Structure 1
Amino acid sequence: MAGVILDFSFLAGSWPLLAGAAANTVIYSAAALVIGLPAAVVLCLCCLSRQPVLRAFGRFYVSFFRGVPLLVLLLFAYYGVSGVGLSTTPEQAAIAALAVCEAAYLAECMRGGFLAVPKGFVEASLMSGLNRRQNFVYIVLPTAVRLTLPSIINEVTMAIKASSLISVVGIAELTRVSQNLASSTFQ
């Protein structure tokens, strides 16, 4: 059986397309995270709130948007919104769908981090004379951030991977452009 020789010469003319698509992937993922992170903080606070209405809202949002597939959200944000008389661009629909989805996932990561802070840390800091605000700033928040950081980094990776779905609304991102190049050159 003859060895297969790969010819990468076709990539010479494809670099601009691939670079632009990679930039789109990074831009849309970053925009979704920049919008989703502050929303996630608010949602996390809602989920941890002692107010039943806020807690119910936070839990509903997280459950709903973690349960609905991102592809459905993208299609609804682009095609479904036009059914009620609003028009959106593919870019707006992609960023909005990615952001609401990321907000739900990031809120759950943060909630888990705050709930994982040992109660003994809080009690010990309060007994040592720190007030509630100091306790939160110096003890709870740094501990929660340290506990949450791996899952947030994982979610950033998942956001970049999930951005491959934005091609369904007509945005040229890295996966779609690579597939198009592969199908046109058979390599």
Structure 2
Amino acid sequence: MNKILPGILILVILFVTFAVFEEVNKFDPKQKRLQCQEKTITFEKIDFEHPIWETNNLIETNNFIIKSNIEYSKLMPSHLINILTVEQADETLNKVLNTYIKYDIPNDKKLLIDYYIYENDKEDKGKKGPKSKLYAGYLLFEFKLDNKLVYKIQTDYMNIDAKDIEERMDCAIKSFLSIK
């Protein structure tokens, strides 16, 4: 009996320690880590199994590829179609990325920045409620290394004239680079 009691006590302590550690390290995708994320609705997904710091330096050393798309509204007249093309969006993103490039060091590994811009289709009957019609659209960024998702962020843009898209792109890149 004297030998069993310390074993049980050790197991209880280990269990409590593990539970506390798990709770402290839990990631909430709706939690706002940066001030720019508080401006609009922003969601994140971080894959802790892949080394994000390895991918961060791929942006800082100019080793990335951009893949992009724009989904214009279909059920209502598109405001975005006459304002922004994929090429213009890529140009804007490259302008943002250039502010984060520190060195130009060739690397065989390339970070894929796969993003698209979605124009909110307010005539879509599948919208969840009136709040879903408040934003002009959203940007969804996926950062991939070796075809594996490392980080994903979705952030709304509010202006139908797309004037805040550059700011939201900057927030997405800044959010990604802030994870070390």
Identify the TM-score tier after normalising by the shorter chain. Answer: under 0.3
TM-score, normalising length: structure 1: 0.25
Q: Which has the higher contact order (CA 8 A, sep 6+)?
A: 1
TM-score, normalising length: structure 2: 0.25
Which is helix-richer, 1 or 2?
1
Which is strand-richer, 1 or 2?
2
